Structure 1
Amino acid sequence: MLCIAAFIVLLVLSAVSARYRRLLGKAASCTWRRVTLRPCDTTFRDDLKNSLLAPLAVRSPRLVRPASIAIEVLAWVMVLSMIVSLYIVGRSGLNLVVYGTCDKQNAQACTLSAEVCSVGDGTTPFWDSILAGNVIGAFGDEFASLGDTFSAIPSRLRTWEGAEFASASATYLEGYREGLPVAVEVIDPGCRFCAQLFRNVEESGLAQTHNVTYRVYPTASSWGDKFEHSALIARYLTAIQLHEREAALAGENTTDWLILEQIFGGKNASREDWQVWFNETATDEEAVAQLHTWLSDAGYDAAGIAQIDDLAASPEVADSLAAVRQSVEDDIRTVSIPTMILDGRLRTGVVSIDDLRAAR
């Protein structure tokens, strides 16, 4: 490993000074033979070691052997560190191209990715597994995750059709109109970046040129739902979609869109964003009561609200949300929310107003 480590160091030094280039040639020859599993046929390794140890041999001969071992260990550490670094850089770059984030397990931790809430890839982080003593599982999950990334490459090169991912009970911003392409947002009611995308879509006027719909996907973590009440809101939104499916073509927003408008853009009497209130303040009872209030404002009477309550707790809604989860995780294969299917492309993170207008 010493000649490989020396080659790395000399490669850097040769870029700034020609005096090291002769040694670089010897190091390269030795390194190539070592990489191809052949013994080094030059004395470069011994010459290098002797030049490093000669001053020590004069002053403290007894320390030559320990120092020789230390040099070998340092060389191994240096080479292994370089291999690991190259792997991490390569893996992160591949993830960035495929998923729009360099860290699949925590998309928000990648400073190069768009504004997103992380979905994760369902695996335990590498170092968490190592610290838990599951070394085999750590490497197994790592290589399985890398394999999933490679297998997702073809899907990123395809043409994405929004209509393929709109549910049978989908409702549309400002109503459905024949002949317009379909744009699909994958959103979590608790994600602040989903709120930003929602506002950008409205401000851009995308609904004038596209049939804009959404799939609601409450993100989860190892300890449960990532955002308090996202799953509750998702059940009610889905129940309203199923209940008002015949009204989806009526040319105006259905009740689920009115509720999304409040959650993503409204404030309560205390001037607190409704989304923040649901995430950080509301109890379960208060959250349900507020949803009831919005249903009442939309024209539902007590009997109608009771119907929505029953439907929200029904197997039909649970199956619908399970189908969305399967589609997001297995078909769309995103690790970031929001994700948007628009004009044949899969876009992760907040799409800017200018980009939305350009899609028109």
Structure 2
Amino acid sequence: MKLAFAPELKAFREEAAGWLETALSGPFKAIRGQTNQVDNVEERRAFEQAMGEARWSVVGWPEEWGGRNASIAQQVIFAEEYARAKGPPRVGHLGVELVGPTLLALGTEEQKARFLPDIAQGKTIWCQGYSEPGAGSDLANVKTKARRDGDRYLIDGQKIWTSMGMISDWCFVIARTKAGSVGPKGLSFLLVDMDQDGVDPRPIRQMTGEAEFAEVFFDGAEAKVADRIGDEDDGWKVAMALLGFERGVSTLAQQMHFRNELDEIVAIAKRNGRASDPIIRQKIAKAHAGLKIMRYNALRMLAEDDGGSLSGAAFTYKLYWSNWHKQLGEIAMDVLGQEGEIGLIEERMPSLPTMYLMSRSDTIYAGTDQIQRNIISERALGLPREPRGA
């Protein structure tokens, strides 16, 4: 099976590849190939703004909001070229890939005009205020409260595992606006300015030494009623629509990043002789086949997209990639051997031990494997719901 793009897309690919090569070998050379989410923030903000100015930041958005109105095929091509050029992780990705598409689909015209230009131009970094100490995979159990006071909400509560919470300008927050409500009812979807009294982000240090995540405390923080997406007490619908966009074209960029990691593992195996080990060869071949399957399923998922609603293929995606990537981390350590364990590796190789450590969490965050299997069985297959406690 071979998938190919139409010949008329060649010019688009060449334009994207040329711009990325010029930018990442010139003014942004220092951040090329970077894997850490929060290092070199100012340089990466500048890169986001350069992408926005060239209309590469949000290629799939309408032209009126800073995009190129690119087709799915063009968006896939750009995602592939970005990863192939070893572009750094997008510090603006939560705005570009999640809250931006949600605003396009569900926001008012005033909200679009207020927020979309700054997202497209790389001027704002967003974080996600979903998980709490007692509400991770069980998102409907959130306890953060937002009390309405005239034209604003006053927010009290705590969010945790907030990616880039220490460097973000805005946060989209799920909070309980109906007193006494439980579960998915009585929640609202609020856009919150992080630069205000009453918002206190605190870094969470990971075992890799990085602090990509933060816990965020809200103590009387304000959110404007005008900055609520959707109806009051009906934010669950918005929150679920946003998660649908999480399985969009960005998955192809993720896979190209996986491809780069696998290629690096293969290169090391050839160099240090591990490629002659039949068990290692078998593991690498299995990883290669698994990545191909992941790509074909992602393309099928995109072909079935209907504006944010999850297709049958999309329900399986997170469960599949997280387990594949976790196994890839183990292969990396097998190939590196003792060098990987003690850190005595070539200067350009430290990303693989870090990837191994980070991949241990892949099957936990954004819904554990157990939760993903429940979602597949109940929502995709229509099986009876798992019995819940009283």
Query: What's the TM-score, normalizing by structure 2?
Result: 0.24
* Larger RCO: 1 or 2 (CA < 8 Å, sep 6+): 1
More helix per residue: 1
Query: What's the TM-score, normalizing by structure 1?
Result: 0.25
